[in-house]
Amino acid sequence: MPILEVKNLSMHFGELAALEDINLAVEKGEILGLIGPNGAGKTTFFNCITGFLNATRGDIFYKEQNITRFGPHRVCKLGICRTFQIVQSFNEMTALENVMMGAFCRHHLTGDAREKAEEILKFTGLQDKKNQLAGGLTLADQKRIELARTIATEPDVVLLDEVMAGLNPTETEEAIGLIQKVHEKGLTIIVVEHVMEVIMKISHRIAVFDSGELIVDGPPEEVVQDERVIKAYLGEEYHAES
C-alpha cells in the first residue's frame, strides 16, 4: 500500500492547466525525484499535496486517508511537510527559533519545542549557528534551516523543493549527505531538483512532469534514456554527455 497516492489530480488557474490528471503513488521509504522544465507544475504539485492549494479535480490519499481538502496545518500534523523553493526563513529570528517554529507542530510547551529544535540543529549540523540570525547566514545555511524546520515537524513524508538550488559543489555534496541521513531515519522523500547529477544520485525512481502532465515515471537509468524526457527536458546534449 503506497504511503502517498495522487489520483487524477488537476490544478487549473483559469485557462491554465498547471496540473492535468496526475496519477502517482509513492511507497514508504522511497526517494522519488521529480523533474521537468520551468513551469511544469512541480511546485504546484507540492502545493496541492500540502494543502496550500485546493485542487480543481482528483484526490490525494495519505496512509489511505483522503486529505484532498485538508489545509496546510492539518496535513503537516498528519505527517507531510514541505520546504519552500524560495527560502521562507524568518530573517529576524535565530536559527534555533526558526527550527522551533517547526517543532511547535507537535510540542506546545516552549521548552519541549526548544529541546526538539536543538536535537534537529545537531542532526543538520547547525548547532554552532543556532544563536545567529537566519537573515545573516549563507544561502546554504538558510536552505539547511529550511530543511531543519521541516524535519522538526516530525514528518513521515517530506517534499523538498529545490533545496540545493544556488549551492556550490561542496555545499551540494553536504546537502546530498543530509538528505540521505534524513532518508535513513525512515522518511519518505519527494525531491524536486534541476541538477541532474543530484537527482540521479539520490532518487530510487524519477517522475517527469511537462506542461502539467506526468510524461514518464520509472527507474533513473531508464528515465534519462527516454526520448520524451530528452525532448521535453534533458536535451540531446545531456544524452550525448552521459
Ligand X SMILES: Nc1ncnc2c1ncn2[C@@H]1O[C@H](COP(=O)(O)OP(=O)(O)OP(=O)(O)O)[C@@H](O)[C@H]1O
- Contact residues: Mg ion, CB under 5 A: 42-43, 85
| Spatial separation of the C-alpha atoms in residues 241 and 123, rounded to whole Å | 36
Establish if 82 lies at the interface with ligand X (CB under 6 A). no
| Spatial separation of the C-alpha atoms in residues 189 and 203, rounded to whole Å | 9
Considering the complex, state which of residue 95 and residue 167 has its C-beta at the smaller distance from ligand X: 167
Residue type, 150: T
Query: Which residues between 154 and 173 bind ligand X (CB under 6 A)?
Result: none
Considering the complex, state which of residue 24 and residue 96 has its C-beta at the smaller distance from ligand X: 24
What's the burial of 76, exposed, middle or buried (CB within 10 Å: 0-12/13-18/19+)? Answer: buried
Contact 180, 203 (CB under 8 A): no
Distance of closest approach, residue 42 Cβ to ligand X, in angstroms: 3
Establish if 42 lies at the interface with ligand X (CB under 6 A). yes
41 binds, among Mg ion, ligand X, none (CB under 5 to 8 A by kind): ligand X
36 binds, among ligand X, Mg ion, none (CB under 5 to 8 A by kind): ligand X
Considering the complex, state which of residue 94 and residue 203 has its C-beta at the smaller distance from ligand X: 203
| Residue selected from 4, 26, 31, 40 as contacting ligand X according to rule CB under 6 A | 40
- Location of C-alpha cell 481538502: 69
Total residues binding ligand X (CB under 6 A): 12
Residue type, 32: L
| Residue selected from 2, 39, 72, 218 as contacting ligand X according to rule CB under 6 A | 39
Establish if 72 lies at the interface with ligand X (CB under 6 A). no
Q: Residue 172, SS3?
A: helix
Please, what sign has the CA dihedral across residues 48, 51, 56, 60?
A: positive
Contact 84, 131 (CB under 8 A): no
Establish if 33 lies at the interface with ligand X (CB under 6 A). no
